[in-house]
Structure 1
Amino acid sequence: MHALPEDHTGVRMARLRRERHLTQKAISELTGIPYSTYTKTEQGVIAATPHVIAAFARGLRIEVATVMGQPYTDELRADELDILIRPIREALDIYDLGADPDVQPRRLEDLKDDAEALLVSVRAGEIKRAAGNVAGLIEEGTSAAHSLNSTEGWLTLASFYRTAYDVATKLGFSDLAQLSLARMDWAAQRGSDAILGGMYQYLRALTYLREGKFAIGQRLVTRGLSTLQQADSTREREVVTGQLHLGGAVMAGRAHDQNQALSHLEEAERIAGRTGEAVKVHYLTFGPTNVQVHRVSVLAELDQYGEAVEANGDLTIPQDWPKSRISHHYAEVARAQMWTGRLEASFQSLLKARKAAPQQAKYHPTVRETYAGLEAAHRRLPESFLSYGSWLSAANGQVA
C-alpha cells in the first residue's frame, strides 16, 4: 500500500481546525488562504505549499512543525535516531559550567579537525554519524574552551554547536535547533568573530523562515549584513554576505514579495561573480551555482513553478558539490515539476534526492509533501513509487 495515505499535512490541518471548532471558511478568512486552495489542501487534492502551511500556522498561532507532523517520531525510532537527541540536549546544557574535571580534552588541533569532519559529514548527508558524535565533542570542546579561554577554542566550540543545529534542523527538532543556535552565538561572542556573528544571524533567520515568520527573518538578514560590516573586507566576508542575500531571497519568495526576492538574488549574483565557487568557505556552498539553485527555489516559492523548472534546465551541478545540497535541490525541483503536472519527472527527482543523501531526504518535509502530492494525483506511476513510500514510512526500520 502507499505510504502516508492518512496523515498528510492536509489531514493534520483539518484535525487542528476541528480542534478549534472552526469551519473551512473561517480558516480561509483567518489565514488569508483562498477558500478553494484551503479545501483542496485539506482533502489532499493538492499538496500543501510552504506558503499555505506558514499562513495556516500563523493564523492558528501554532508552530509550523505541528502542522507538518515533525519530528517524524516513528521513523526516528525505527532508524535509532531518537536516542541520539537526548545526549545532545544534555551536552548543550553544560555550556556555562566551566571545565569538567572528569573530561581531559585533546589538543585543540585535534578538536578543530573533528569540528571540520562533522561539517563534512552533515554535508555528505551522513546525519546519523554526525548526530552520534556531536554530543561527546561538545562536552570535550566545552572543557577545552573554558580551560584555554582562547579565540580558537571558543570558535571550535561554536562549530560543534553549529553541527548540533544542523542535526536538529534536519531531523525536525526546532526547539533543539534554536537552543543550539543560542549556544553558537554565546561561543562566537567569546571568540569575538564578526563573520561568525553574521553566520549566526543567517542561521537564525532560517529558523524563522521555517516557522513562517518572514518579517522577523528579513530583519535578521538585515542585522546579519550589518554585523558583517564590522569584519575586515575579505573573500570570507563576501561569501557570508552573499549567502545572507540568498537566505533573504528565499524568505521574500515565500512571503510572495517578488521584488525583494529578485533584488536579493541579483546582489548575491554580483557577489558570486567576485568570489567564484566557494564551496568550503564555512561550508555554505556559496558561488554562482548556489545562486542558480536558489533562483529555482525562489521561483517555486513565488508559485512560478514553470519558470522554476525552466531555470533548472540551465543548471549544471559541479561534481564536488555536497550531497546534502544536491538532495535539497532535487527535492525543490520535484515540487516544481509536480505542480506543473510533470509527475514522472517529479518522481525521478525524488529518486535523485534520495540517492544523493538518503538520510536527509527521508526527513525532508518537501520530499514528503511532494510524495503525498504525487499520490493524490491518482495517476499511473511505477511500482518503485510504492517502494519509495514504504521507505519514507520506515517500513523496514532501517536507514538507507
Structure 2
Amino acid sequence: MPGTNATALGLRIATVRNARGLTQTKLAATARVSLSMLRKIESGARSPSDDVLHAIAGALQTTADHLLEGPGHSDSRVHRAIPAIRAAITTYDLPDDGPIRPLVELGAVVRRTVDQRLNSEYAHLVEGLDDLISELQRAVQHHRGGDRKHAARLLAAAYRAADGAAYKYGHPDLSGRLVELVRWAARTAEDPALEAAAAYVRTEVFFASGILPAGLRALQQAINAAPAPTTCPLRAAVGALHMRAAVVAGRMHDAAMAQLHLAEAGRLAGGVPEGIYHGTAVGPASLRIHDLAVAVELGVTAGLRVAVDAAGSWVPPRSLPAERRSHYYIDLARAQMQLGRRDHAWESLQVARRIAPQHVREHGQVRAELATLVRLGRRRDERLLMYAQWVKAI
C-alpha cells in the first residue's frame, strides 16, 4: 500500500485481531497469508499489497478502509450542527437583519453556553448556537461604545464555544477560522485579558498542525504583549498562557523551558482564587493538573513516577469544570501506561468517562490508549472492548 504508514496500519491490524480473539496463527490461516508475512505486517516491517490487506480485513470481519483510516469520529448531533455554524460565521462583519435581545439577556445565554463547553455538554451546546452567533454578530454591528465592547466579549465567548465543538469533533479548518474570529472579537472588545485568552485558544491551531515551536513563540509573544498583571483577571489570563506554554514545551521535550513556564504559572495562576476567567479554569488546582500534563508530555520516567505518586493522594475538586477533571484522568492514564501500569490506566480511563463522556468519546489520546490496552490484553475483557468500540478505537 504505497503512501500508507506501515507501523500505524500494523498496530491497527494487531488491535482488531486481538479484539476478535484471534491469534496471529489463526488470522494468517483464515486470511490465507503466511504467518511470517502477517508478523512482518503487524510489526510495520512490511506493507501489505491491496489483495493481502483485503484478505486480512475480510478475516477480521471489517474493511480495508477501516484498517487504513484508523479510528473514526462518532456519530453525533455535533457533526450535524457544523454546517449551520460554518454558515453563520461567514457573515461575521456583514450580518443579516434580525432581532437583537438586550445584552443582559444575551449574557445569560452565553454564560450557559460557556458552562456547557467547560463541562463537555457539546450536544446541548450546539443547539441553536448558529442563531446565537448570528444574533451576537448583529449586536456588535448595532451597538456603539461600551455596549459594543460588551457585545464583542459575548461574541468571543460564543465563538470559543463553537471552536470547542469544532476542535474536539475533528473539524480543524472550522476551528482555525473560529480561533481567528475569537481574536477579532477580543480586539474589538479592547480587553487585554480577553486578548490573552484568545492567544491561549490559538494554540489549538498549532497543536492540530504539529507546529509546536511556532505555537510556543505565539504564546510568548502574547505573554510579552500583555499589560503588567496587576489585576486578578490579568494574572489569571497570563498565568493560563504560561500553563499552556509549559505543556507545549513539554511536548517539544524541552524540560528547562517547561519548568520555567510552570514556575511563572505558579507565581501568577497559583495566586488567584480557583475560578473561570474569560472561559479558562485557572487557580491552584488547575496548576496542579498542568503539572501532571507536563510530566506526561516530557515522558521522563522519574518525573512520571513522582506525578503518578502525587496523583494517588489528590482528587480534582468537583468545583472544577468536568472537562478539566476528565482530562486530568486521561493524562493520568497516559502516565500510568508509560510506566507499564495498565490496570491502573484502565481504571483512570473509566473515571474520565464517568466525569465527561462526550469529552472522552472524541479524545484521540483515549482512543490510542484503549487501542493499546486491547492490543496488549492477555485475556478478553468485554468491558474494555465495549469502551473501545464506543469511542471507535477499534
Relative to the length of structure 1, the TM-score reads: 0.78
Flag the 1:69–1:138 CA change in 2: closer, same or farther, 3 A: farther
| Shift in Å, 1:232 | 6.6
**Counterpart pick for 1:82 among 57, 76, 79:** 79
Residue aligned with 1:81, SS = helix
| Shift in Å, 1:12 | 8.8
2:181 paired residue number: 183
Residue aligned with 1:106, SS = coil
CA contact (8 A) 2:11 2:43 kept: no
1:297 paired residue number: 293
CA contact (8 A) 2:243 2:290 kept: yes
- Rounded to whole Å, the distance in 1 between the matches of 2:40 and 2:348 is 24
1:160 paired residue number: 158
Residue aligned with 1:318, SS = coil
Residue aligned with 2:317, SS = coil
CA contact (8 A) 2:235 2:272 kept: yes
- Rounded to whole Å, the distance in 2 between the matches of 1:70 and 1:238 is 42
Give per-residue Cα distances to partners, 1:364-387, cap 9 Å, x unaligned: 011101101111213336321112
Flag the 1:41–1:332 CA change in 2: closer, same or farther, 3 A: farther
Structure 1: give runs of 5+ residues left out of the alignment: 1-6, 16-38, 46-67, 396-400
1:29 paired residue number: none
Structure 2 counterpart of 1:265, one-letter code: L
- Rounded to whole Å, the distance in 1 between the matches of 2:374 and 2:12 is 19
- Rounded to whole Å, the distance in 1 between the matches of 2:336 and 2:307 is 9
Q: How many residues align?
A: 337
| Shift in Å, 1:340 | 1.4
- Rounded to whole Å, the distance in 1 between the matches of 2:10 and 2:90 is 33
More RCO (CA 8 Å, sep 6+): 1
CA contact (8 A) 1:295 1:311 kept: no
- Rounded to whole Å, the distance in 2 between the matches of 1:361 and 1:9 is 25
Flag the 1:70–1:131 CA change in 2: closer, same or farther, 3 A: farther
CA contact (8 A) 2:10 2:41 kept: no
CA contact (8 A) 1:206 1:247 kept: no
1:284 paired residue number: 280
1:332 paired residue number: 331
Residue aligned with 1:280, SS = strand
Structure 1 segment 145-156 matched on structure 2, within 5 A: 145-149=140-144, 150-156=148-154
2:377 paired residue number: 378
CA contact (8 A) 1:71 1:172 kept: no
- Rounded to whole Å, the distance in 1 between the matches of 2:6 and 2:389 is 15
CA contact (8 A) 2:194 2:278 kept: no
1:253 paired residue number: 250
Structure 1 segment 342-357 matched on structure 2, within 5 A: 342-357=341-356
2:56 paired residue number: none
CA contact (8 A) 2:116 2:124 kept: yes
**Counterpart pick for 2:266 among 266, 269, 283:** 269
Identity %: 31
2:139 paired residue number: 144
Relative to the length of structure 2, the TM-score reads: 0.79
| Shift in Å, 1:82 | 1.8
CA contact (8 A) 2:86 2:174 kept: yes
- Rounded to whole Å, the distance in 2 between the matches of 1:164 and 1:326 is 21
Structure 2: give runs of 5+ residues left out of the alignment: 14-38, 46-67
1:239 paired residue number: 236
Tell me whether 1:109 sits opposite 2:107 in the alignment: no
1:398 paired residue number: none
Tell me whether 1:306 sits opposite 2:290 in the alignment: no
2:124 paired residue number: 129
Structure 1 segment 2-81 matched on structure 2, within 5 A: 10-11=8-9, 43=43, 72-73=72-73, 75=74, 78-81=75-78
| Shift in Å, 1:256 | 0.3
CA contact (8 A) 1:118 1:130 kept: yes
2:30 paired residue number: none
